[in-house]
Amino acid sequence: MTSISPEVVRQVVEKVVRQVAASQSSVGSIVAPGDGIFPDMDSAITAADAAWRAYLDCSMKDRARFVKAIRDVALVPENLQYMACAAVEETGMGNVPDKVAKNRFAAELTPGTEDLITEAWSGDEGLTTIEISPFGVIGAITPTTNPTETVINNAIGMLAAGNAVVFSPHPRAKNLTHWLIRKLNAALAEAGAPPNLIVTVAEPSIENTNAMMEHKLVRLLVATGGPAIVKAVLSSGKKAIGAGAGNPPAVVDASANIEKAAKDIVDGASFDNNLPCTAEKEVIAVECIADLLKFEMLKHGAYELRDPAQIAKLEALVVNGRHPVTDWVGKDASAILKAIGVEPPAGVRLIIAEVPFEHPFVRVELMMPVLPIVRAKTLDEAMDLAVIAEHGNRHTAIMHSCDVNALTKLARRIQTTIFVKNGPSYAGIGIGGEGYCTFTIAGPTGEGLTSARSFARRRRCVLVGGLNVR
Ligand code: NAD
């Protein structure tokens, strides 16, 4: 009889366990110890608090290694593909290639520990530093529109700043978020991190989110979502970062390179089927170039609805009062066209329709590849309308113009957190534009494009009478 060495037995057992875990993780929410998924909020938060206390003893090099482990596991090609496919399947929104790109940018371009910069005063009295320290356990609420992107982005920033995090995902992204949290925890364990730095609950719900917001061990709340959740965290009595809704206007001025503006707008507005809060949601074009702009947009995958009856049919399909119809959020342009009885042309990415400014397509944050176009008589009128359409969200605006004064004027007037000039909207989150990437853009509370330092407390450390070597 052939004898099998203990090492071979160990390897076989490990392989089988890995295969079983992998098969479980793809079917949904099976609660297993050590994977960061807990039956209730209290046990999740208590475990995260213990993890954070252990994390305090880790070095900055350790933190950097853990952040790298998160990036590396997210960037495994099969994992990127899985996250994109599973998000489209589970949430029913978006498209696979753009979700692959979004997850990749979140993993590659979210700042890590290098984002924590110490300020110092050195003088006759000694040396004082401002240390960028963790809050402890952060409660992070994530949206359906960027489910895994936000978890990757928040996890990197929050752990880089020395925190533990409890995620409260949207119930419609539960299985996928569980899958990712399991993967992140396995990668962190392999990198030697304390267990439970990233946790969640088996059944995400509004009740569980409320329990998280009220829990005494949660020191900071970060809400990425619509107005209701931002209001909820800001009413919680805790320190909160609110990353809320947008309705970004794209203003096109006569001085713009119209051909490029048209392509940029179609690229930005069709990206992940218009799900990003930063994506162009309405175009306001000065009259003299509006026809040319539409003509150029048609060359890049836009389809124009001209028949008022079809526009009305589309409105009845996708707008419900002041909200979009959830079933149509993030759907493909071709599926939307088919639903109103229009045979979609090959390669269609975006539906455009010229409408009056008061139309619901302009006012409602549709989050689908339906882009209204409004004509303005003058550039000043275009700017006025853009400010109104943005609803004071202070989120994102885009302008295509070669007139520096006009760009400056709208940027001053609209006061958005992101102002993209002469590019697609996604340039504003570091995709084809300079600067880092984030999926939590805190307009309402003013942190702006969040990164590790947004999730940190500032503490003054004072050494009296020493270390001044000037
Ligand atoms: P949503 O507001 O429906 O849900 C976001 C999260 O909040 C989910 O986890 C949901 O379960 C939770 N939630 C919502 N209302 C709640 C309540 N009353 N109590 C407790 N929990 C609640 O948003 P969504 O449809 O998933 O995402 C789209 C919205 O998010 C859009 O308005 C978009 O602009 C915004 N968004 C903003 C940013 C940003 O960085 N500013 C990023 C992504 C999405």
Residues 277-309 have pLDDT tens digits of 999 999 999 999 999 999 999 999 999 999 999
Residue 85 appears among annotated catalytic residues: no
**Ligand 1 within 6 A of CB of 448:** no
Determine the pLDDT at residue 29.
Answer: 36
pLDDT surpassing 70 at residue 15: no
Query: Which residue has a Cα nearest atom 21 of ligand 1?
Result: 206
Determine the pLDDT at residue 1.
Answer: 36
Per-residue b or e along 276-307, where b marks 16 or more CB atoms closer than 10 Å to that residue's CB: bbbbbbbbbbbeebbebbbebbbebbbbebee
Residues 43-58: pLDDT tens digits? 999 999 999 999 999 9
Determine the pLDDT at residue 56.
Answer: 97
Query: Is there a contact between 278 and 310 (Cβ–Cβ < 8 Å)?
Result: no
Q: What is the largest CA-CA distance in the chain?
A: 91
**Confidence class for position 31, pLDDT limits 50, 70, 90:** very low
What is the share, in percent, of the chain residues with pLDDT greater than 90? 91
**Ligand 1 within 6 A of CB of 211:** no
Name the residue with tokens 């009220």.
214
**Ligand 1 within 6 A of CB of 206:** yes
Q: Ligand 1 centre and the CA of 243: distance in Å?
A: 9
Query: Which residue has a Cα nearest atom 19 of ligand 1?
Result: 206
Query: Is there a contact between 163 and 170 (Cβ–Cβ < 8 Å)?
Result: no
Determine the pLDDT at residue 276.
Answer: 98
Q: Which of 29-33, 228-232, 374-378 has the lowest mean pLDDT?
A: 29-33
Query: Is there a contact between 44 and 168 (Cβ–Cβ < 8 Å)?
Result: no
Using CA atoms, how far apart are residues 312 and 238, in angstroms rounded to an integer?
Answer: 45
Ligand 1 atom with minimal separation from the 169 CA: 9
Determine the pLDDT at residue 467.
Answer: 77
Ligand 1 atom with minimal separation from the 206 CA: 20
Using CA atoms, how far apart are residues 321 and 136, in angstroms rounded to an integer?
Answer: 41
Nearest Cα to 443, choosing from 454, 431, 456, 453? 454
Residues 181-211: pLDDT tens digits? 999 999 999 999 999 999 999 999 999 999 9
Q: Ligand 1 centre and the CA of 325: distance in Å?
A: 15
Residues 101-134: pLDDT tens digits? 999 999 999 999 999 999 999 999 999 999 999 9
pLDDT surpassing 50 at residue 28: no
**Ligand 1 within 6 A of CB of 437:** no
Determine the pLDDT at residue 34.
Answer: 80
**Confidence class for position 22, pLDDT limits 50, 70, 90:** very low
Determine the pLDDT at residue 326.
Answer: 96
State the distance between the two ends of the chain, measured CA to CA, in whole angstroms.
Answer: 78
Nearest Cα to 268, choosing from 290, 288, 246, 253? 246
Determine the pLDDT at residue 122.
Answer: 94
226 phi and psi angles, rounded to 5 deg:
-85, -175
